[in-house]
Structure 1
Amino acid sequence: MNCQELVDFLMEYLEGELPPEHQAAFEEHLRLCPPCVHFLATYKEAIVMGKICCQCSEAIPKEVPEDLVQAILAARRAK
């Protein structure tokens, strides 16, 4: 398995859905390729951060504050 194939199989690997023969090749590639180990680690961190961000307990306002609308419009006019 090469680096591109590892990326192609990444989601299946993380979801535990990679066929055994591909999983063995995937893990062997990780054993031999530090950049892919780093890529996998940062990808896992991104998933965790995404889940944390989605657990926001603050209520989203139903209406956009008028001062925000005016700031956006002013920024558009300034372009």
Structure 2
Amino acid sequence: MEIEFKWFGLQEKVQKDISRAHTRIYTNFYRTLICSLDEWYGMTMEDIRELEAKIKRDLDEARVSGEVRGMVEN
């Protein structure tokens, strides 16, 4: 990954913060992915499509009525 932020006085801090956030996001993503493999193993394509549809419904509902969620970097 390459980050360019050319602003004197802020460059190093912003680049470090972005790099830290990137590492954290992808580490959490891959950890979740690996933990989910047991759930997916042995599923048929039909089962996977049903799971995708359920997840889509849940996400659509959360976007409309759920509270705001996300990541915060301190």
Same-fold call, TM cutoff 0.5: no
Pick 1 or 2: higher relative contact order, CA cutoff 8 A, min separation 6: 2
Q: TM-score, normalised by structure 2?
A: 0.36
Of Structure 1 and Structure 2, the greater helix share is in: 1
